[in-house]
A = this chain, B = another copy of it.
Amino acid sequence: MTYESKPDWDAKDWQLLEALQRDARLGYAELGRKVRLSAPAVAERVKRLEEAGVITGYRAVVEPKRLGYGIDAMVRLRCDGGICARIGKIVENVPEVLDCRRLAGEDSALLRVVAMSITHLETVLDRLLKIHPSISTTTLIVLQTPHANRSITRTMWDAARTLSQD
């Protein structure tokens, strides 16, 4: 959580960022073509984005349904403070939990869970409930996902900037 010295990204940095959010496997040469920069210059900029923690990694996007995970659910979870604080570590042992966020408010955490069937989902929920007696859950079945992990863009950033008036 330390401050970086370079909070300003120019138009080409944003172009690279957007291109890599769209397709993380683009090579430096091709990126350079899009952005009108040589491959080494692109590599340099991308490295700076990585080192500044703006880009934290590159991931293949996998469709769970195609692997047999027909169920996608969001699980609202309530529990006592002591357990809450450890929920991140605890759910590491439950691989069907793909996301885990701790929340302010009534719900302590919100999980995204995938399962191969309702029966499977049931066993995952049982496993979560058995972690501690203070835990209770509310399960919301995802019917469809119109948007997942949309890109952060420069135009979006600009609009927010002008909103904040500075």
Which positions in A face B, CB cutoff 8 Å? 4, 7, 9, 17, 20-25, 52-64, 66-69, 72, 74, 87-89, 91-92, 95-105, 107, 110, 114-117, 119-120, 123, 140-153, 155-157, 159-161, 163-164
Tallying the copies of this chain within the complex gives 2
Given A53-B66, A62-B152, A147-B91, answer yes or no on A105-B163 (Cβ-Cβ < 8 Å): no
Given the complex, which residues of B lie within 8 Å of A7, measured CB to CB?
68
A20 near B55 with CB under 8 A, answer no
Sampled A-B contacts (8; CB under 8 Å): A4-B66, A24-B25, A54-B67, A58-B59, A64-B152, A99-B150, A101-B142, A103-B142
Give the 9 A-B residue pairs with the shortest CB-CB distance, closest first: A88-B146, A20-B60, A95-B156, A24-B58, A100-B147, A24-B24, A104-B141, A57-B61, A54-B66
A56 near B63 with CB under 8 A, answer yes
A97 near B147 with CB under 8 A, answer yes
Given the complex, which residues of B lie within 8 Å of A68, measured CB to CB?
7, 157, 160
B62 near A56 with CB under 8 A, answer yes
B110 near A74 with CB under 8 A, answer yes
In the assembled complex, the CB of A44 is this many whole angstroms from the nearest CB of chain B, namely 16
Report how far A157 CA is from B116 CA in the complex, Å. Answer: 9
A148 near B99 with CB under 8 A, answer yes
Given the complex, which residues of B lie within 8 Å of A149, measured CB to CB?
59, 98-99, 149
